Structure 1
Amino acid sequence: MDGKPDVVSEQPVPSPSASRLGWEEFSREIVEFFASIKLAMFLFIALAMTATIGTVIQQGERAETYVQEYGEEAYRWFLRLGFTDVYHTWWFTGLLGLLCVNSLTCFYKRFPGVWRSMRQDKVSVSRAFIQGLRNQTVLSVSESTEPVAERLVKLFGEKGYRVLAKSDPGEVTVYATKGIMGRVGAHVAHLSATVIVLGGLIGSYYGFQEFGVCLEGQTYHIPRGNFDLRVDKFWIDYHENGSVKSYNSTLTVIDQGTPTITKTITVNDPLVYKGIWFYQSSYGDAWDQIEVARLNIKEKANDKVVATVDLEWNKEKTIEGLPLKVKMTDFVADFAFNSTEKKVFSKTAEHSNPAIRLAVDERNTVQSTPWVFYHYPDLFEIKDSAYQFEFIGYQPKKFTGLQIARNPGINMVWVGCTMLVVGMTLSSLIYHRRLWAKVVPDEMGVRVYVGGTTHKSQIDFDKEFRKLTEKIQAKPLS
């Protein structure tokens, strides 16, 4: 309206290339973060601290164990933080997951360059490239180009190098390389950590580990494998001085009613069936059964011992010379009574207050099932009986402690361990070394430009490089 042209402000249009560049920078920063050595060190320290917690604080114990040792308030915090089962907490799994990501990112970032260098032989190089290497020298040899080049090929080959030669107008270039697998070793070791961690996580979440207390002659059902396990025999071998030499269990697997496999297991020699491992873990005195109990039988009238008998477990015995039949039917190692359920039970596995239960038949008129105590012989007496029973000794029945476990990730862990050993061996014992030599004619014969690099062990390579250059200058035998 005023005669001036309208000015239209132009909004800047975002450039697709600028947007793409921003995303590339962001992704590069992400890769740098997850591949950083700082993250790896943080994760290793955090895992070490976590493992220390899992070692100091017993894992998977009953609540009363933690309350007794650390107090009730500390136990509540342990539950909140997962300290009673550290290795199955979400944050421990997260640390392992981050370690896997760190290891894989390092592999992704660094290995392609190594792989390209393995696949590509850099033969055609300039003199300036050779003279820019850490180990380099220029030699004058009074011979023609071809004999010197042939001597270089032979000399490098004798030292274990793989040699390539290229002839260009006016010069010959010789390239030699060896120990390329030494560059791979560190990356194999990186990858092995991921394989081991993944195998451990698979075993942790899809496997199990339990402890079974088993008695000789008993058969137990293994629900996770849907078969039965029979303990045929358990025994302990001793040294001459009386110390325990070994403890052993003979086990038989019964699958669908048919004995399938029998094996005697010892420590570090388990039985394996359907992927379930049965380890000989421990042994001890059973808390609910004994082999033999010894009794004194007294007359109540004069407190005189009229008989001393040994009772076998759950076998009735007729007492010679007395109108008595006695059988031992029950045993508890630490006697306790549940007044609500009216039941006797052993409150601990320790033999702190042992007691046996007898089935007494006296003249077919007095029948009783009294509990007789080892530490309190006169605590109870049988009404209308002429006799008092005194529990004076017993032979405990040994149990075999079996660790029962399935670990579906164990093969992956072994593969990872093998990769770790192979990777560390390659990285420690094999060094990637490369040599270049360019033979150029001059007025006095030829000028040889020699240079080389090594991935590790620089001192040894310096010695090898010096000896090679000395041999290049040496006159060949006619």
Structure 2
Amino acid sequence: MSTVTETTEQATRVATGQSIPARLLSRALKLLSSVRFGIALLVLLVIACMIGMLIMQQNVDGFAEYYAKLTPAQRLVYGALGFFDIYHTWYFNALLLLLSLNIVLASIERFPGAWSYIKHPKRTVAPVYLRSLRPNIAFTATGASGRDVAARIAEACRQVGLKPTITEKGGRFFVFAERGAWNRLGAYAVHAALLTIFFGGFMTAQLGKTGLMELVPGRSSAVMSEPRFELDQVKRFQIKLPFTVECVDIQQKLIHKDGPILPNNTIDWLTRIRIHDETGTHDALVHLNNPYDYRGYRFFQASFVPIGSARQVTLRIESADGSSTHQVTIPRNGSVTLPDGTRLDYVQFFPDFRLVNGRPDTASGDYNNPVAQLKVTTPLGQEFPAFAFARPLPPTIPAAGPVGGYRFRLIDFEKAPLAHVLSIQYDPGARVVYLGFALLILTLALVFLFSHQRFWAMVETGDSQSYHVTLAGHANRNQPGLEDRFKRLVEALGQDPRAIAFAPSRKKGRSSTE
């Protein structure tokens, strides 16, 4: 390095009074607090969110089918960039962190200037600046003294909802009145709302869980399965829940009762569950558009297993000798007792009955050959398996013979799927996000529907007991509102509002002369 260059750098360091690391830190802080940098980060964050909406995320039901339809190139690129789980990627969290830091630093840098409007309002201004403001009016007033004229102006300010103060400076009296000074801090309230939303989203991304639970009546589970993407395949991992979910009953409301168990033939499906934990037992109902919340976990209807089953069966029971006939309805996993003490338990339902290696099974999920399997317990305690067929059977078939002294026939049943699948979502940041959006809506409304309006009146000595008055106003936004209040103030002073000088366009920012 030449001597000239070294001398130049030394002179620069002496002139600035900062070392190179200090200057780099200063530039970094300046960049982080820049509004343009914040807008760029916000645009990138919006793009990332759009990707998350356009590309199905791996924790959404149906992701496996969506993934199978993608081309190998799409799978490779999307997987490498983390698009299948974008809300948990390092760069999404980095964008949230940088944008939050930008909002905080920008607020810190600009807050003193906004606070000065409230803590140290400018009660006197230069005559040149005052006459340059719009709206503006100049008129002559009479009075015993300049303070007397200023007092009348202050009273007129109170009549139009302003808070006036009177200041004497340089032989002039200044009346300063304002309204809505807190509006200067509205931007920081908006910043606080945005940070609240970001914090809630970060909580959800880091601590949130989403999984699926298949529920069959009579069974319980304390785990849910969560899909996770690993380059070329989707794996499901078990997540332990802090409670146990027992399936009490599932019900399917069909459009056409004789139709199949399919989504396009379903009005609603209902899942009745019972939650067990250290606090006791809690019953709940989950159905379409009506989720259930418990301990921060939300239960949604996700899907169902479209294999035909029966919520309840109706049987015609005939004694072996034909002397008596009964008709009974047995709910799933339920039982009934006949007059002679014989007990019938509903064991299982086969929508398309067949025998496989001598054991009952179903050929399909459709109701082609519905059969209800029963357990018959005689008054003497003997137990026998029995089958109730919907179709009439020839007497020569063994299954058509009496069991426990009775013959059974399936005459009706309520269709229901084999199981319901619930989506369970743990979202610790949901309430924080809702609070943030509520604050954001409120603060934006307060910021844009109201404004900081300031009025100055300068009273100067004229001839004899007459005084020259210059009255002007300024607002940080909502110029029409300022002009309306200015007209009412002029009228309260007994002046003609047609003499007001209005600006062709709104003033922007705060004048350096202030």
TM-score by length of 2: 0.66
Question: What's the counterpart of residue 134 of structure 2?
Answer: 134
The one-letter code sitting in structure 1 at the alignment partner of 2:141 is V
The one-letter code sitting in structure 2 at the alignment partner of 1:152 is I
2:282 to 251, 258, 261: 261
Please report how far the alpha carbon of residue 446 of structure 1 lies from its aligned counterpart in structure 2 after TM superposition: 0.8
* Larger deviation, residues 43-52 vs 172-181: 43-52
Confirm whether residue 252 of structure 1 aligns to residue 274 of structure 2. Answer: yes
Please report how far the alpha carbon of residue 79 of structure 1 lies from its aligned counterpart in structure 2 after TM superposition: 2.3
Question: What's the counterpart of residue 509 of structure 2?
Answer: none
Confirm whether residue 18 of structure 1 aligns to residue 37 of structure 2. Answer: no
Q: Does structure 2 conserve the Cα–Cα contact (< 8 Å) formed by 1:161 and 1:177? A: yes
Percent of pairs with identical residues: 19
* Larger deviation, residues 462-471 vs 57-66: 57-66
Please report how far the alpha carbon of residue 431 of structure 1 lies from its aligned counterpart in structure 2 after TM superposition: 0.8
Q: Output the CA distance in 1 between the equivalents of 2:291 and 2:412.
A: 35
The one-letter code sitting in structure 2 at the alignment partner of 1:173 is F
What SS class does the counterpart of residue 160 from structure 1 fall into? coil
What SS class does the counterpart of residue 493 from structure 2 fall into? helix
Please report how far the alpha carbon of residue 244 of structure 1 lies from its aligned counterpart in structure 2 after TM superposition: 6.5
Question: What's the counterpart of residue 231 of structure 2?
Answer: none
Please report how far the alpha carbon of residue 199 of structure 1 lies from its aligned counterpart in structure 2 after TM superposition: 0.7
Question: What's the counterpart of residue 199 of structure 1?
Answer: 200
Structural mapping, 1:143-154, within 5 Å: 143=143, 144-154=145-155
Q: Output the CA distance in 1 between the equivalents of 2:351 and 2:54.
A: 34
Q: Output the CA distance in 1 between the equivalents of 2:4 and 2:416.
A: 97
Q: Output the CA distance in 2 between the equivalents of 1:111 and 1:177.
A: 20
Please report how far the alpha carbon of residue 156 of structure 1 lies from its aligned counterpart in structure 2 after TM superposition: 1.3
What SS class does the counterpart of residue 226 from structure 1 fall into? strand
Please report how far the alpha carbon of residue 126 of structure 1 lies from its aligned counterpart in structure 2 after TM superposition: 2.8
Question: What's the counterpart of residue 188 of structure 1?
Answer: 189
Distance 1:424 1:284, change over 3 A: same
Question: What's the counterpart of residue 227 of structure 1?
Answer: 243
Please report how far the alpha carbon of residue 423 of structure 1 lies from its aligned counterpart in structure 2 after TM superposition: 1.0
Question: What's the counterpart of residue 459 of structure 2?
Answer: 439
Question: What's the counterpart of residue 447 of structure 2?
Answer: 427
Please report how far the alpha carbon of residue 196 of structure 1 lies from its aligned counterpart in structure 2 after TM superposition: 0.5
Distance 1:17 1:266, change over 3 A: farther
Deviations 1:270-309 (A, max 9, x none): 4433x332334256456496547899xxxxxxxxxxxxxx
Q: Does structure 1 conserve the Cα–Cα contact (< 8 Å) formed by 2:34 and 2:106? A: no
Deviations 1:302-333 (A, max 9, x none): xxxxxxxx99878999xxxxxxxx99977789
2:423 to 403, 415, 419: 403
Please report how far the alpha carbon of residue 471 of structure 1 lies from its aligned counterpart in structure 2 after TM superposition: 3.2
Question: What's the counterpart of residue 457 of structure 1?
Answer: 478
Question: What's the counterpart of residue 107 of structure 2?
Answer: 107
Q: Does structure 2 conserve the Cα–Cα contact (< 8 Å) formed by 1:171 and 1:441? A: yes
Q: Does structure 1 conserve the Cα–Cα contact (< 8 Å) formed by 2:210 and 2:423? A: yes
Q: Output the CA distance in 1 between the equivalents of 2:76 and 2:362.
A: 27
Q: Does structure 2 conserve the Cα–Cα contact (< 8 Å) formed by 1:217 and 1:232? A: yes
What SS class does the counterpart of residue 473 from structure 2 fall into? strand
Please report how far the alpha carbon of residue 249 of structure 1 lies from its aligned counterpart in structure 2 after TM superposition: 4.2
What SS class does the counterpart of residue 422 from structure 2 fall into? strand
Q: Output the CA distance in 1 between the equivalents of 2:372 and 2:432.
A: 52
Distance 1:158 1:314, change over 3 A: closer
Deviations 1:236-295 (A, max 9, x none): 668999996655444433224x7343344555554433x332334256456496547899
Confirm whether residue 416 of structure 1 aligns to residue 468 of structure 2. Answer: no
Ranges in structure 2 where 5+ consecutive residues have no aligned partner: 224-238, 259-264, 316-328, 337-343, 354-359, 377-384, 391-396, 402-409, 497-514
Distance 1:272 1:327, change over 3 A: closer
Query: Across the two proteins, how many residue pairs are aligned to each other?
Result: 434
Q: Output the CA distance in 2 between the equivalents of 1:240 and 1:124.
A: 81
Ranges in structure 1 where 5+ consecutive residues have no aligned partner: 1-7, 296-309, 318-325, 336-343, 362-368, 375-384
Q: Output the CA distance in 1 between the equivalents of 2:363 and 2:478.
A: 65
Please report how far the alpha carbon of residue 154 of structure 1 lies from its aligned counterpart in structure 2 after TM superposition: 1.4
Deviations 1:81-134 (A, max 9, x none): 323323222333333334323433442333332122222121133323322323
Q: Does structure 2 conserve the Cα–Cα contact (< 8 Å) formed by 1:281 and 1:403? A: yes
Deviations 1:427-464 (A, max 9, x none): 12111111111212211511112222111111332233
Q: Output the CA distance in 2 between the equivalents of 1:50 and 1:351.
A: 40
The one-letter code sitting in structure 2 at the alignment partner of 1:177 is E
Once superposed, what is the RMSD of the aligned Cα atoms?
Answer: 5.2
Distance 1:346 1:191, change over 3 A: farther
Question: What's the counterpart of residue 341 of structure 1?
Answer: none
Q: Output the CA distance in 2 between the equivalents of 1:41 and 1:205.
A: 20
Question: What's the counterpart of residue 69 of structure 2?
Answer: 69
Confirm whether residue 160 of structure 1 aligns to residue 161 of structure 2. Answer: yes
1:279 to 288, 299, 302: 299
* Larger deviation, residues 233-242 vs 427-436: 233-242
Confirm whether residue 97 of structure 1 aligns to residue 97 of structure 2. Answer: yes
Q: Output the CA distance in 2 between the equivalents of 1:61 and 1:249.
A: 18
Q: Output the CA distance in 2 between the equivalents of 1:245 and 1:62.
A: 21
Deviations 1:2-48 (A, max 9, x none): xxxxxx99973454452528457624642454654651563255235
Question: What's the counterpart of residue 448 of structure 1?
Answer: 469
Confirm whether residue 42 of structure 1 aligns to residue 34 of structure 2. Answer: no
The one-letter code sitting in structure 1 at the alignment partner of 2:107 is F
Deviations 1:208-261 (A, max 9, x none): 1222232344333257443223334444668999996655444433224x7343
Distance 1:440 1:236, change over 3 A: farther
* Larger deviation, residues 99-108 vs 236-245: 236-245
Q: Output the CA distance in 2 between the equivalents of 1:266 and 1:66.
A: 25
Distance 1:151 1:236, change over 3 A: farther
Please report how far the alpha carbon of residue 405 of structure 1 lies from its aligned counterpart in structure 2 after TM superposition: 2.1
Q: Does structure 2 conserve the Cα–Cα contact (< 8 Å) formed by 1:192 and 1:417? A: yes
The one-letter code sitting in structure 1 at the alignment partner of 2:112 is P
Q: Does structure 1 conserve the Cα–Cα contact (< 8 Å) formed by 2:333 and 2:345? A: yes
Deviations 1:44-69 (A, max 9, x none): 55235324423x67754577513542
Q: Does structure 2 conserve the Cα–Cα contact (< 8 Å) formed by 1:270 and 1:279? A: yes
Structural mapping, 1:337-376, within 5 Å: none
Question: What's the counterpart of residue 214 of structure 2?
Answer: 213
Q: Output the CA distance in 2 between the equivalents of 1:142 and 1:262.
A: 81
Question: What's the counterpart of residue 499 of structure 2?
Answer: none
The one-letter code sitting in structure 1 at the alignment partner of 2:116 is R
Question: What's the counterpart of residue 320 of structure 2?
Answer: none
